A and B are shown apart, each in its own frame.
Chain A
């Protein structure tokens, strides 16, 4: 979720780079008889042009900034990514087990609706949403005519909307509750193939070690999902499940590039229909390289490896998947 990036801000604490100069300087007792005679104590290093050197002050650098008067904020972003996927349909063999490329274009917005000071924490409600086109293409891969037909039939658009309440604490922990709606439509015939409501409780802790930032999170998610590739929801409720997920992410700046490896593990438990006894473990190892050209323009490279270990369902849902791609991101914040 885009809004969670705000959490990171508060925990970029603090690498201390100033060495101490312990050179002593005697004060002249003869000048201490009256406060007006204490001018010697104001002795400071002067620059050659006679101006005072800012580095002399122990108080710290004071850079003026401009702040919004209220707590409302708006974020907009556009992403365009082209990604190679060796197993785009997440299958273990069969006629859909071939590589593809996926071109995604995503329009995202989120709005902070206020900043509520609770003393030990700050509450921020958010709403937002996104619309994404996902087009399978034969870029990077040799595809047969049949496979190109599958690309056409499986391309989809997805819509997301969410409301969230985020509680940020000064020690770096944050807690959030999120309700999100996700809907997927196949591009070829506008069939609604998936509709999902997800209810999430999440805890997140961000902290710094040396020059690196580490983000840990754990979440509990309940999915109410209707999914059917034909759009008639015959198999509705079979995708209902709950997830327990946790991830660990490291962010390190090397030169102009932010490098961010991340590992996620997720346990899912299904309850209905053919998935009555289905459980699965998903492992995902991802790497993101981000090059910020300007405040609002980023280049990104992403790669990920996923292993899904499923049991208890009628179908074989085990799979492995490798993705690698690059894209651009344009963003604006108000």
Chain B
């Protein structure tokens, strides 16, 4: 464990804190210390950022999460971005059904799935992701992985267009400050472009079950058979 002071450095829209013990609701404000006993919920179009000595966490809209400690995040729904240059970062990520542990340094996005698991998207990383059934999977920048099931395991992995992701991610673009790892993200994009063979006319969506993943096609409609 490192420094425990965590505070809200940026907030846009409505962010509510929910105390499970007495069912009370309050509103979070900029500069509030993070209370590890509370749930934090963001309204539609609302986002906030938590900074600590070693990391930045950005929580997207329609998210519901609990920041149990600096190295333990529970996310029920929605998405968050985590960013740390600290090489010995340890972060336990839990969702409604699944759990994974990140070790190393880097910037990644966690996006909840309807099946209770989550997508893990490393933008730039030097580290590993461990689940119950797959310890120490080395992370590859730009490779989306599905963390599903309980006990948790890694589902399919997909290389995704990092440039497009960054251009469209509100977790990147709708915050006033630039990420401290932006240069490393730029290099990850550069390497991906050097290795690029082609792009599929499809977008990855949600996973309603452990075995299915929505892939949304676009482009030319194939001829009728």
Knowing A10-B186, A29-B23, A54-B216, say if A41 contacts B76 (CB, 8 Å).
yes
> Once bound together, how far apart are the Cα atoms of A14 and B192, in whole Å?
16
B187 / chain A contacts, CB cutoff of 8 Å: 10, 121-122, 168-170
A153-170 CB contacts (< 8 Å) to partner B: 168-170
Is B169 touching A26 in the complex (CB atoms < 8 A)?
no
Most buried by B among A12, A57, A112, A124: A57
Q: A18 vs B45: C-alpha distance in the bound complex, in angstroms?
A: 11
Q: Does B171 contact A (CB under 8 A)?
A: yes
* Residues B161 and A65 in contact, CB atoms below 8 Å apart: yes
Give the distance to chain B from A31, nearest Cβ to Cβ, in Å: 9
Asked if B109 lies at the interface with its beta carbon under 8 angstroms from chain A, I say yes
Residues of A contacting B193 in the complex (Cβ-Cβ under 8 angstroms): 6, 9-10
B114, chain A: closest CB distance, angstroms: 8
What mask results when residues 1 to 13 of chain B are scored 1 for a CB within 8 Å of chain A, else 0? 0000000000011
Contacts A60-B170, A60-B172 given; indicate if A68 touches B191 (C-beta within 8 A). no
Answer whether residue B167 sits at the interface, using C-beta atoms and an 8 A cutoff. yes
Pick from B13, B194, B205 the residue with the most CB of A within 10 Å: B194
- B contact residues around A115 at 8 Å (CB): 191, 194-195
Please give, as numbers and ranges, the residues of chain B lying within 8 Å of A169 by CB-CB distance. 183, 187
Residues of A within 8 A of B182 (CB): 13, 170
| Min distance, Cβ A166 to any Cβ of chain B, angstroms | 10
Question: Are the C-beta atoms of A60 and B199 separated by less than 8 Å?
Answer: no
- A residues in contact with B109, CB < 8 Å: 59-60
Interface 0/1 of A1-44, CB less than 8 Å to B: 00000100111111111101111111101101111001001111
CB closest residue in chain B, given A53: B205
Known: A11-B186, A18-B170, A26-B16. A66 touches B198 (CB 8 A): yes
Asked if B125 is at the interface of the complex by the 8 Å CB criterion, the answer is no
CB distance from B216 to the nearest CB of A (A): 7
Check B200 against A170 for contact (C-beta < 8 Å): no
Does B35 sit at the interface, judged by CB under 8 A? no
Contact B14 A24 (CB under 8 A): yes
Interface size on A, residues (CB 8 A): 60
A301 CB to nearest B CB, Å:
26
If the complex has contacts A29-B18, A61-B164, are A24 and B43 also in contact, measured as CB distance less than 8 A? yes
CA distance A207 to B169 in the complex (A): 20
Q: Is the CB of B41 within 8 A of A61?
A: no
Task: Digitize A89-118: 1 where CB-to-B-CB distance is under 8 Å, 0 elsewhere.
Answer: 000000000000000000000001001010
Question: Are A172 and B186 in contact, with the CB atoms below 8 A?
Answer: yes
B30 beta carbon closer than 8 Å to chain A: no
B128 shortest CB reach to chain A, Å? 16
- Asked if A171 lies at the interface with its beta carbon under 8 angstroms from chain B, I say yes
Cβ distance B11 to chain A, nearest Cβ, rounded Å: 10
A67 to B198, CA, bound (A): 7
Is there a chain B Cβ closer than 8 Å to A49's Cβ? no
List of B residues within 8 angstroms of A26 by Cβ: 14, 16, 25, 43
Question: B77–A54 contact, CB under 8 A?
Answer: no
Residues of chain B within 8 A of A20, CB atoms compared: 12-13, 45, 47, 170, 174
Inter-subunit contact A18/B204 (CB<8 Å): no
Of the candidates B160, B169, B173, which one forms a contact with A64 in the assembled complex, judged by CB atoms under 8 Å apart? B160
> In whole angstroms, how far apart are the Cα atoms of A42 and B111 in the complex?
12
Cross-interface CB contact of B197 among A34, A61, A67, cutoff 8 Å? A67
B44 within 8 A of A: yes
Tell yes or no: B98 within 8 A of A by CB. no
Q: Shortest beta-carbon distance, A299 to chain B, in Å?
A: 23
B62 CB contact (under 8 Å) in A30, A32, A43: A43
Residues of A within 8 A of B184 (CB): 170
Q: Is the CB of B76 within 8 A of A38?
A: yes
A232 close to B (CB within 8 Å):
no
- Tell me the B153-197 residues at the A interface (CB within 8 Å): 158-161, 163-174, 182-187, 189-197
5 nearest CB pairs, A to B: A21-B45, A58-B60, A60-B169, A24-B14, A170-B183
Can you list 16 pairs linking A and B with CB atoms under 8 Å apart?
A6-B190, A9-B190, A13-B182, A18-B170, A22-B45, A24-B43, A41-B63, A42-B62, A57-B111, A59-B119, A62-B144, A65-B198, A67-B195, A112-B194, A168-B190, A170-B182
